[in-house]
Amino acid sequence: MRQRLEETASSPPNQKGRPTQRPTLRWVFQLFLWVRLVVLEGRPRVLNLAPHHETAVRLLGAQRYYLLE
């Protein structure tokens, strides 16, 4: 992920809300702590997905799991 951050000049927020290009894996996991997948009326929905989550998801190549495709 750090390599992709460098290539794209992206930077997710750190624990203090400041941009960082060197997040720890633990922090990346903690970013997704409150993101939820629920099924409402038979349709899957992702809740609490903020723009910095979307950036991390795209960098990790996991768009389909977070319904971003």
- Structural domain span for residue 20: 2-66
Give the pLDDT confidence of 22-65 residue by residue, as tens digits: 999 899 889 899 999 999 999 999 999 999 899 889 988 999 99
Question: Residue 35 and residue 21: Cα distance in Å, rounded?
Answer: 22
Report whether pLDDT(1) > 90.
Answer: no
Report whether pLDDT(69) > 90.
Answer: no
Query: Residue 2: which pLDDT band, with cuts at 50, 70 and 90?
Result: confident
- In the numeric block, the tokens 């389909």 are attached to 64
Question: Residue 26 and residue 28: Cα distance in Å, rounded?
Answer: 5
Instruction: Provide the terminal-to-terminal Cα distance of the chain, rounded to the nearest Å.
Output: 20
Report whether pLDDT(15) > 90.
Answer: no
Question: Residue 10 and residue 35: Cα distance in Å, rounded?
Answer: 21
Question: Residue 59 and residue 14: Cα distance in Å, rounded?
Answer: 16
- Count structural domains, the chain: 1
pTM of the predicted model as reported, rounded to 2 decimal places = 0.78
